[in-house]
Chains A and B, each alone.
Chain A
Amino acid sequence: GQSLEQPSEVTAVEGAIVQINCTYQTSGFYGLSWYQQHDGGAPTFLSYNALDGLEETGRFSSFLSRSDSYGYLLLQELQMKDSASYFCASYTGGFKTIFGAGTRLFVKA
């Protein structure tokens, strides 16, 4: 089967750092993406890792370890506006992406 596992909820304090983990099991793997979705809105693309290692984009970083079938999204200097759902997604080739169930991030003041 194809699955991506991520925690259902994470809570953190404003200004802190939070890490959202994702483990994947997919037939065919080209890379791991992360998307952010605010309530009632559409998902927006955050990052993509095709190779092992850390990719940094401003306050957000994403990491991939192909040997461990594992990745994470790191959010630094948390702001209230970061409260949203975060999805990891596996690009399996053939124009298809499989999404995880999402992690709901609550940022508290």
Chain B
Amino acid sequence: SQTIHQWPATLVQPVGSPLSLECTVEGTSNPNLYWYRQAAGRGLQLLFYSVGIGQISSEVPQNLSASRPQDRQFILSSKKLLLSDSGFYLCAQSRSSGYNEQFFGPGTRLTVL
């Protein structure tokens, strides 16, 4: 079965600092990968998704970017964090075919001060 790893689990960063969150997937090949952000008490906002190496689709224009350097690695980055970037960041994967049941990683809780 598939396993999703995310690190770090928690992160406190000052405004204007860079960000790099990593997600790796085990137990599956050629997955569709997703980055979501969840504000406290809110739903999930899709940020990026990727259907293959080097293929990134952005859903929300902002100061974040994503990269997929390997089949099972997905990275979320920022050059300069904003206060509004605080939230719970979740990486998810789904099968490359069929309906879109998603499996989520444990998440990274980011606080920007």
Interface size class of B (residues with CB under 8 A): 20 to 34
Please tell me which one of the listed residues B32, B46, B104 contacts residue A44 in the complex, with CB atoms under 8 A apart. B104
- Chain B's nearest CB lies how many Å from the CB of A91? 4
The reply to whether the CB of B100 lies closer than 8 angstroms to some CB of chain A is: yes
Query: Which residues of chain A from 18 to 41 have a CB within 8 Å of any chain B CB?
Result: 30-31, 33, 41
Establish whether residues A48 and B101, one from each chain, have CB atoms under 8 Å apart when the complex forms.
Answer: yes
Query: Are the CB atoms of B100 and A87 closer together than 8 Å?
Result: no
Interface of A is mostly: strand
Provided the pairs A43-B90, A95-B32, A95-B51 are in contact, do residues A102 and B42 lie with their beta carbons within 8 angstroms?
yes
Which of A42, A91, A102 contacts B100 (CB under 8 A)? A91
Residues of A within 8 A of B41 (CB): 104
**Cβ-based interface call for B43 (8 A):** yes
Task: Let me know if A74 is at the binding interface, CB within 8 A.
Answer: no
Confirm or deny: A96 has a beta carbon within 8 angstroms of a beta carbon on chain B: yes
Report which A residues bind B (CB closer than 8 A): 30-31, 33, 41-45, 48, 50, 87, 91, 95-102, 104
9 contacts between A and B (CB under 8 A): A33-B100, A33-B102, A42-B107, A43-B44, A50-B99, A97-B46, A98-B46, A99-B44, A101-B43
Q: Which residues of B contact A (CB under 8 A)?
A: 32, 36, 41-44, 46, 49, 51, 59, 90, 94, 99-107
20 additional A-B residue pairs with CB within 8 Å, beyond A45-B101, A87-B43:
A30-B100, A33-B100, A41-B106, A43-B90, A43-B102, A44-B104, A45-B102, A45-B103, A48-B99, A50-B99, A87-B44, A91-B100, A95-B94, A96-B46, A97-B46, A97-B100, A97-B102, A98-B46, A102-B42, A104-B41
